[in-house]
């Protein structure tokens, strides 16, 4: 047997339990051969890693051996993997750019190495913040400027007249200047309430925000709003700011536009101090096409880290696609995950673009009807699947409290089941159909025509025992070209009628009411975790657009106008208050980590939805004008119920039509498939939550 079966190895592969998958979903049984093949390939690659590097642990810490290192004696060691290169050199201000003086030595398997002794006086030959470059001589004798794929710190050029390519700088601060961790990581939350955020746009000013500003100004807001996780976007360095961080150029470098690596550590430590877990938006689905400051053509060929030819290019994203079947590419990617966990103390990852990794079509033009043949045919990229299996296996074995989330629109079965069951091993997948449903309704359907059964179906249509992150909108819906839910609801009226002292406006009244209902029903019915993009909790107006040539490099839409939520004279506070109370109520009752809700009523004409979850009873009336006195609803237990959240409350901008002090008595009389019946008053466009006294 391979060494990974040893009980002493923390990364040992578990005994497969694929039969459990078929017990849960018998329809998967006919694909047993394919599922077992995936597991066998996963196990084979682990054995290959152990044979080649001794252990997966060592293999996945390649950042300790690649890139540029300075030891405690101030000696410099440089190692690169450049299989297509004919010669490799290191140059920089340390040698006055005389690259010919510092050649690498070629080793086996495409490896290159260079050692530089300390200076005669014992100092390091390459100083902290020195600029360096890798010079690659290709097969045609052409010299190519490159940045090391393992670069820890790259910066934008100060003088734009000299070009816009990012520069690699040595990050080796003095011991006293290195950040010292002060706080332990929080435990994994039972209920995950994620605040999706972007450091650069987290300031209200017309500029790029910083790590420390986020730590000092935004984390207190997140805590107050009742979120227990942040998902940091656009941290891995990307030369093009307007790519929202999804065109990564330097995978090991935390973006310098927001500050230094030590300042990012301080941000994460501040989050941990406040019992907030920090997830990194991890982009391993593709890479920027940049050559001078990216991975593309690093060794002078179109291969190296990527597939050669058309398979290595994503036609829609205009980016490069990793070769997940290559030993050294997996070493680079798995080590990248370890780097952020070990160096920066991240608590997990939201993997971007997983659908692109699962299929040869990259998901383009795929309808994904739910037919299982779509998930087990020739279109499936098994190399991508095996990479994700290894990644999740490694993360969860080494970091038991780590969280991984898959951004997959296809609905592939077992994405969120353990690797030992033949699954991909993710903890959660994003419920991407939910925001699509809300935006489609707001775009195309009159309120009077909303189909309650269809809404409930979208919110509950998820795989049994595969956790879903529910969200009404994320950054995707905020981007220019689309609109946030608040803007779809209220649009131009937000410029003139959001003052608490202005005349009542029917558009604003409807908008705020539906904003609250949409969020609560998504939160309580849609999944086992909840996500909100920063600012959307208070109905941030307008769209999100980064400075670029098309908008004269304006920061007007690349910021968050926090003063809108803070101003007592504006109505944004009502949505903000409701968002906070919704999260605090979930913290108290824990519906996200309870069994899925039981929907007892979805009345098409009345526009009423009733469900119970975690012992609470949720009642929604989406009707445009009808309020219902003495409306009968089914509840799980008999006894006295009280109102614990009510969207019509004054603090949420409501009309105060509900008296929360009134007791509601549930009698042991069956109703709507529930054992007990209760009569309630539900005003139009209102949501109410009841709890047993």
Task: Give the count of beta carbons closer than 10 Å to the beta carbon of residue 684.
Answer: 17
- What CA–CA distance (Å, rounded) separates 587 from 241? 36
- What CA–CA distance (Å, rounded) separates 524 from 520? 6
- What CA–CA distance (Å, rounded) separates 500 from 163? 50
Are residues 204 and 559 in contact, defined by beta-carbon separation less than 8 angstroms? yes
**What's the DSSP call for residue 203?**
S
- What CA–CA distance (Å, rounded) separates 124 from 139? 33
Average pLDDT over residues 240-248: 94
Number of residues that this document lists for the chain = 693
The distance between the two most distant Cα atoms of the chain, rounded to a whole number of Å, is 91
Place of tokens 């597939």: 307
* Nearest in space to 151 (alpha carbons), one of 232, 269, 233, 249: 249
Containing 327, the helix (H) or strand (E) segment is helix 327-342
Mean pLDDT of the chain: 96
* Nearest in space to 245 (alpha carbons), one of 278, 212, 196: 196
* Nearest in space to 636 (alpha carbons), one of 660, 666, 595: 666
* Nearest in space to 37 (alpha carbons), one of 376, 322, 324: 376
Q: Give Cα separations from 406 to 351, 366, 676 (angstroms).
A: 5, 18, 39
- What CA–CA distance (Å, rounded) separates 566 from 627? 32
To the nearest whole percent, how much of the chain has pLDDT over 70? 99
Which residues, including other chains, have CB under 8 Å from residue 216's CB and lie 6 or more apart? 270
Q: Which domains occur in the chain, in start order?
A: 3-58 (no CATH), 62-177 (2.60.40.10), 596-692 (2.60.40.1180)
Structure tokens at 512: 């705020």
**What's the DSSP call for residue 591?**
G
Task: Give the count of beta carbons closer than 10 Å to the beta carbon of residue 174.
Answer: 7
* Nearest in space to 401 (alpha carbons), one of 226, 275, 262, 285: 275
Helices (H), 1-111: 19-24, 32-53, 56-59
Are residues 169 and 131 in contact, defined by beta-carbon separation less than 8 angstroms? yes
Are residues 677 and 635 in contact, defined by beta-carbon separation less than 8 angstroms? yes
Q: Three-state DSSP class for 176?
A: helix
Cα within 13 Å of Cα(248), Cβ side: 26
CA 653 to the chain's CA centroid = 31
Strand order of the β-sheet with 111-116 is 67-70, 76-81, 111-116, 105-106
Question: 668 exposed, middle or buried (CB, 10 Å; 0-12, 13-18, 19+)?
Answer: exposed
- What CA–CA distance (Å, rounded) separates 633 from 466? 30
CA 452 to the chain's CA centroid = 29
Task: Give the count of beta carbons closer than 10 Å to the beta carbon of residue 607.
Answer: 23
* Nearest in space to 214 (alpha carbons), one of 235, 191, 192, 188: 235
Q: Is the confidence at residue 2, as pLDDT, over 70? A: no
* Nearest in space to 130 (alpha carbons), one of 97, 159, 103, 100: 97
User: Strand 639-646 and strand 664-666: pairing?
Assistant: antiparallel
User: Strand 105-106 and strand 111-116: pairing?
Assistant: antiparallel
Helix 452-460 crosses helix 433-444 at what angle (to 10 degrees)?
A: 160
Instruction: Identify the pLDDT of residue 1.
Output: 33
Which residues, including other chains, have CB under 8 Å from residue 681's CB and lie 6 or more apart? 627, 628, 629, 630, 631, 657, 658
532: left (phi over 0), alpha (psi -120 to 50) or beta: beta
Q: Is the confidence at residue 166, as pLDDT, over 90? A: yes
- What CA–CA distance (Å, rounded) separates 186 from 230? 13
Average pLDDT over residues 179-203: 98
Return the minimum-mean-pLDDT range out of 24-28, 354-358, 367-371, 577-581: 367-371
pLDDT, tens digit, 9 for 90 and up, residues 353-364: 999 999 999 999
* 580, 584, 589, 595 alpha-carbon torsion, rounded to 10°: 50
Task: Give the count of beta carbons closer than 10 Å to the beta carbon of residue 60.
Answer: 27
**What's the DSSP call for residue 144?**
E
- What CA–CA distance (Å, rounded) separates 355 from 361? 9
Bridge partners of residue 642, in order along the sequence: 691
Q: Give the residue numbers marked as catalytic.
A: 352, 407
Q: Is the confidence at residue 686, as pLDDT, over 70? A: yes
Instruction: Identify the pLDDT of residue 542.
Output: 86
pLDDT, tens digit, 9 for 90 and up, residues 406-438: 999 999 999 999 999 999 999 999 999 999 999
Question: 338 exposed, middle or buried (CB, 10 Å; 0-12, 13-18, 19+)?
Answer: buried
Instruction: Identify the pLDDT of residue 8.
Output: 60
* Nearest in space to 481 (alpha carbons), one of 439, 522, 441, 519: 439
- What CA–CA distance (Å, rounded) separates 171 from 76? 13
- What CA–CA distance (Å, rounded) separates 348 from 531? 15
Bridge partners of residue 278, in order along the sequence: 230
Average pLDDT over residues 42-67: 97
Band of pLDDT at residue 9, cut at 50, 70 and 90: confident
pLDDT, tens digit, 9 for 90 and up, residues 512-547: 999 999 999 999 999 999 999 999 999 999 889 999
User: Strand 229-233 and strand 192-198: pairing?
Assistant: parallel
Band of pLDDT at residue 79, cut at 50, 70 and 90: very high
Containing 647, the helix (H) or strand (E) segment is none
Q: Which residue has the higher pLDDT, 564 or 480?
A: 564
Place of tokens 């809108």: 564
Which residues, including other chains, have CB under 8 Å from residue 629's CB and lie 6 or more apart? 681
Helix 506-525 crosses helix 452-460 at what angle (to 10 degrees)?
A: 40
Q: Three-state DSSP class for 194?
A: strand
Give just the sign of the alpha carbon dihedral 63, 67, 70, 75. positive
pLDDT, tens digit, 9 for 90 and up, residues 566-616: 999 999 999 999 999 999 999 999 999 999 999 999 999 999 999 999 999
Band of pLDDT at residue 7, cut at 50, 70 and 90: very low
């Amino acid at each position: 047997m391979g060494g990974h079966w040893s009980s002493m190895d923390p990364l040992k592969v578990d005994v497969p339990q694929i039969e459990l998958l078929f017990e849960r979903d018998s329809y998967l049984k006919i694909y047993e051969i394919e599922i077992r093949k995936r597991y066998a390939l996963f196990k084979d690659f682990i054995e290959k890693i152990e044979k080649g590097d001794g252990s997966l642990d060592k293999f996945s810490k390649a950042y300790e051996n690649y890139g540029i290192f300075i030891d405690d004696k101030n000696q410099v060691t440089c190692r690169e993997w450049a299989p297509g290169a004919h010669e490799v050199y290191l140059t920089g201000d340390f040698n006055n750019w005389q690259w010919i003086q510092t050649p690498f030595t070629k080793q086996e398997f495409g490896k290159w190495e260079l050692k530089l002794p300390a200076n005669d006086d014992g100092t390091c030959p390459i100083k902290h913040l020195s600029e360096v470059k890798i010079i690659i001589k290709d097969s045609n004798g052409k010299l190519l400027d490159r940045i090391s794929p393992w670069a820890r710190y790259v910066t934008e050029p100060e003088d734009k007249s000299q070009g816009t390519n990012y520069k690699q700088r040595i990050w080796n601060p003095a011991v006293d200047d290195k950040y010292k961790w002060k706080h332990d990581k929080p435990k994994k939350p039972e209920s995950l309430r994620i605040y999706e955020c972007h450091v650069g746009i987290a300031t209200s000013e017309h500029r790029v925000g910083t790590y420390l500003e986020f730590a000092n100004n935004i984390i207190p807001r997140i805590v107050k709003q009742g979120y227990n996780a942040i998902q940091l976007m656009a941290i891995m360095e990307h030369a093009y700011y307007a790519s929202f961080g999804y065109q990564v150029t330097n995978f090991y470098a935390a973006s310098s536009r927001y500050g230094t690596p030590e300042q990012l550590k301080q941000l994460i430590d501040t989050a941990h101090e406040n019992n907030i877990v920090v997830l990194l938006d991890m982009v391993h689905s593709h890479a920027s096409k940049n050559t001078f400051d990216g991975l593309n053509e690093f060794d002078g060929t179109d291969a190296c880290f990527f597939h050669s030819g058309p398979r290595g290019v994503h036609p829609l994203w205009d980016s490069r696609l990793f070769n997940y079947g290559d030993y050294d590419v997996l070493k680079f990617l798995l080590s990248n995950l370890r780097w952020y966990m070990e160096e920066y103390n991240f608590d997990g990852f939201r993997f971007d673009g997983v659908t692109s990794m699962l299929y040869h079509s990259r998901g383009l033009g795929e309808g994904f009807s739910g037919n299982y043949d779509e998930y087990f045919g020739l279109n499936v990229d098994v190399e991508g699947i095996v990479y994700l299996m290894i990644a999740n296996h490694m993360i969860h074995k080494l970091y038991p409290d780590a969280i991984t989330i898959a951004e997959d629109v296809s609905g592939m079965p077992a994405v969120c089941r353990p690797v030992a069951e033949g699954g991909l091993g993710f903890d959660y997948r994003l419920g991407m159909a939910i925001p699509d449903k809300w935006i489609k309704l707001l775009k195309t359907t009159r309120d009077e025509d909303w189909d309650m059964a269809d809404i409930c179906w979208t919110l509950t249509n998820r795989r049994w025992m595969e956790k879903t992150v529910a969200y009404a909108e994320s950054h995707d819906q905020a981007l220019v070209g689309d609109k946030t839910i608040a803007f779809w609801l209220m649009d131009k009226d937000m410029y003139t009628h959001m003052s608490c002292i202005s005349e009542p406006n029917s558009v604003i009244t409807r908008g705020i009411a539906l904003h609250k209902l949409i969020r609560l029903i998504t939160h309580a019915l849609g999944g086992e975790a909840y996500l909100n993009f920063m600012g959307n909790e208070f109905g941030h107006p307008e769209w999100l657009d980064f400075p670029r040539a098309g908008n004269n490099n304006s920061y007007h839409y690349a910021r968050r106008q926090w003063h809108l939520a803070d101003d007592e004279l504006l109505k944004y506070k009502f949505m903000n208050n409701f968002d906070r109370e919704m999260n605090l109520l979930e913290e108290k009752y824990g519906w996200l980590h309870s069994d899925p809700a039981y929907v007892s009523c979805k009345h098409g004409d009345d526009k009423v939805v009733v469900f119970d979850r975690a012992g609470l009873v949720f009642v929604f009336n989406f009707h445009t004008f009808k309020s219902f006195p003495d409306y009968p609803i089914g509840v799980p237990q008999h006894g006295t119920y009280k109102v614990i959240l009510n969207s019509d409350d004054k603090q949420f901008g409501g009309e105060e039509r509900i008296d929360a002090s009134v007791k509601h008595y549930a009698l042991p009389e069956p109703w709507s498939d529930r054992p007990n019946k209760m009569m309630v008053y539900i005003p139009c466009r209102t949501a109410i939550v009841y709890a047993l006294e």
